[in-house]
Amino acid sequence: MRQDIVRSIGPRRRGGRLLVAGALAAMGWSTAGPLPWSIAQAPGPDLFAKQPETPEELWSAIDYLSRTGQGKQAVPFLDAFSKAEVDDATLLKLRDEHGAGSFLRLSDDPATRPFAAPLSQKLADAARRTAADPQRIQKYIPAKLMGKITTAKTE
């Protein structure tokens, strides 16, 4: 019985391969010329539901346009974002939502490259100020001390 199973799995016939190759060749020769290839462009800012106004909306538009290779169209939004006084909390929120790569991606396109270093530096300064904020640190010290006191009592 085992031999019957092995024999039924034997090598494939060449006729099937030739038939498939012939059918594919016939389909290729039946076209009048080269197939028309179209390269789709992602929608730009003209299709936004509304013009971005807040820093969050501006950065979402900037990130979208830079990800889709439309750096030249992102420049007006970058100008508006750079002129806006964006606080540290908003910058860090944007970094958390869109990732630090969205700031670094600006250096990939020649049109947005002048904005990359200043905005990355602004983001780094905001992170440094937030990390060194004494009030922020003070919130964690009592919790850490309480954890050590309770673990010392239980030992």
Residues 85/122, Cβ–Cβ less than 8 Å: no
Contacts of 63 (CB under 8 A, 6+ apart): 98, 102, 105
Residue type, 153: K
Residues 82/116, Cβ–Cβ less than 8 Å: no
Query: In which band, very low, low, confident or very high, does the pLDDT at 19 lie, cut at 50, 70 and 90?
Result: low
Residues 80/45, Cβ–Cβ less than 8 Å: no
Distance of CA 98 to the CA centre of its chain: 7
Residue 138 has what pLDDT?
A: 85
Residues 101/81, Cβ–Cβ less than 8 Å: no
Write the pLDDT tens digit of every residue in 92-109: 999 999 999 999 999 999
| Mean pLDDT, rounded, of the chain | 80
pTM for the model stands at 0.63
User: 25-34, 64-73, 137-146 — which one is most confidently predicted on average?
Assistant: 64-73
**Residues 125-132, mean pLDDT to the nearest whole number:** 94
Residue 113 neighbours by CB distance under 10 Å: 12
